[in-house]
Amino acid sequence: MASISQGAVPMLEVWRGGLLECVHQGHAVICDAKGVVAAWGNPNAVIFPRSSAKMIQALPLLETGAAAARGLSSQHLALACASHRGAHVHVELAGRWISDLGLKESDLRCGAHEPGDKTERDRLIETHERPCQLHNNCSGKHSGFLTVTQHLKAGPEYVEIDHPLQKAIRAATEEVIDESVAGWGVDGCSAPNFAMTVGAMARGMAKFATAREGHGAREDAMFTLARAMAAHPHLVSGEGETCTELMRAMGGKVAIKGGAEAFYVAIVPEKGLGIALKIVDGGYRGAEAAIAALLSKIGVLDPAHPAAVKRMAGVQRNWRGLETGFYRLAQGFPG
């Protein structure tokens, strides 16, 4: 298997003192229903999509009938695809969801971590409370997992690779990306994450983008999930976060999702396009610049919008507020 850096191209440059200090390199692919429309780097680079795959992982939630049986709202579905900040709105919705299932926080298998939301973090400190699993950025995904598990009357260890839920997710993944997964690893939230090529993930996102209601359970599920994400950007990530700000900047017309180690995807229904990109050094700064640049290139994000500008180019300052350098898109990207 080729190195992930093989064939990568520069996407973002960081300058200091008149010298190029850092270059973020990566791979990116744009697909439509017929295949690759444009590519930078190596479309065949094998990656873990990490949390960018959450809309695929949520397909069984709708396709099994579990979501309908529980009367889940579009807010629930957006949270199922989220990597949220653990703000009160996220924790409260996940908590009610679990409670409505007749389950407890301890039934989750995602683990606990400090919330990214500063208000909630400070509240926990002030009240001497410890973070719980509801604060985990994946608690919505796991609430969806538990909903399917309960609906199928399957066992409680739903993150095990041989669990019926994970078998369904693997099958859905391979059907959506049109290739066998290249392997699997354990994600930060303990669930399996399936490896694939960047091009395959872009192809899968194009299927979400072109899905239409009334054309079968799979397309119905894709259509519904993508629009739930775009309709509730604050649930998918959180205030000040790239996914939330860019989706708002595009007026709810596009669903985007980041994943750990600098992976990003976008679902663009009005253009029928799917985007996937990976920054090989795992730097979010590069991934955020690249997704904004690609969305601007295809004409769905105004490059002059403040949410786009601050990610594609800007001044770097130190702790005293002194200007120390700048960052900009690499020459020739995205062209």
Q: Determine contact, residues 47/263, Cβ cutoff 8 Å.
A: yes
Determine the pLDDT at residue 98: 98
Paired strand residues for 116 = none
**Residue extents of the structural domains in the chain:** 48-273
pLDDT, tens only, 262-316: 999 999 999 999 999 999 999 999 999 999 999 999 999 999 999 999 999 999 9
Alpha helices, H only, the chain? 54-57, 59-63, 66-69, 74-80, 88-100, 118-126, 139-152, 164-177, 198-210, 217-231, 233-236, 242-249, 284-297, 306-312
pLDDT, tens only, 139-183: 999 999 999 999 999 999 999 999 999 999 999 999 999 999 999
Read off the tokens for 109. Answer: 């298998």
Read off the tokens for 232. Answer: 């509730």
Determine the pLDDT at residue 2: 66
Residues of the chain with pLDDT under 50: none
Determine the pLDDT at residue 1: 63
Determine the pLDDT at residue 179: 96
Extended beta strands in 1-116, E state:
9-16, 19-32, 35-40, 46-47
Helices (H) and strands (E) in the chain, counts: 14, 11
Read off the tokens for 173. Answer: 């993944």
